[in-house]
Chain A
């Protein structure tokens, strides 16, 4: 079974940092691009970041550019999101999502998704 499991979410103060992780299993992780998608409480989905299978292409939403860094470790079947200079508006459930197809520099669709990890930015 293809599975993604996020971890690392917690309560953090404004201006703080946090590192999210996503562990993948059940598929050849090194063959797929990965993404982070977030959802603020009661709001819609917002794409955050993309990393291609070889880490050769990385993209960010304008709202997090310069503050967040995506990375992956194909040997450990994991993808990470380093979040710095956190703001109240970064409060959300963060989902790890695999590209549903094979891509290098674009997103086909998101499948599967992890269960999400909650990040709360508040003093």
Chain B
């Protein structure tokens, strides 16, 4: 059982926006600015899409954005494209014995 809770799946049509939530506790997301999001395509290594809650690495489309409120972080993808179909994982540094927590992953389907 993952430490952070994500929906198992989300879907949207091309051009639409979707949001993936990631719920933790006051020991991880609630007390950390170090929330990151990863995109993983089948058979490939994960790729960071958002770090420090809302920052985008160079080369990542500005259609990807991150936010946090309380113990919940969110990843929003606007203007959905077929190439966005992948698995997405949230992650948070945890100031406890857990140290690092991942979400269980969300499969994004572009209809």
Count of A-B contacts with CB under 8 A?
63
Tell me, in angstroms, the Cα distance from A47 to B101 when the chains sit together.
7
Closest CB of chain B to A35's CB: distance in Å?
8
Interface of chain A, main secondary structure: loop
Residue A44 interfacial (CB < 8 Å)? yes
How many residues from B make CB contacts under 8 Å with A?
23
A109 B34 Cβ-Cβ under 8 A = yes
The answer to whether B48 touches A100 (Cβ under 8 A) is yes
Q: Is the interface of B mostly helix, strand, loop or mixed?
A: strand
Report which of B52, B99, B102, B105 forms a contact with A59, defined as CB distance below 8 A.
B99
Residues of A near B38 (CB, < 8 A) are: 45, 110
Cα A35 to Cα B57 in complex, Å, equals 19
Chain B contacts to A: CB under 8 angstroms: 2, 34, 36, 38, 40, 45-48, 51-52, 57, 89, 91, 93, 97, 99-105
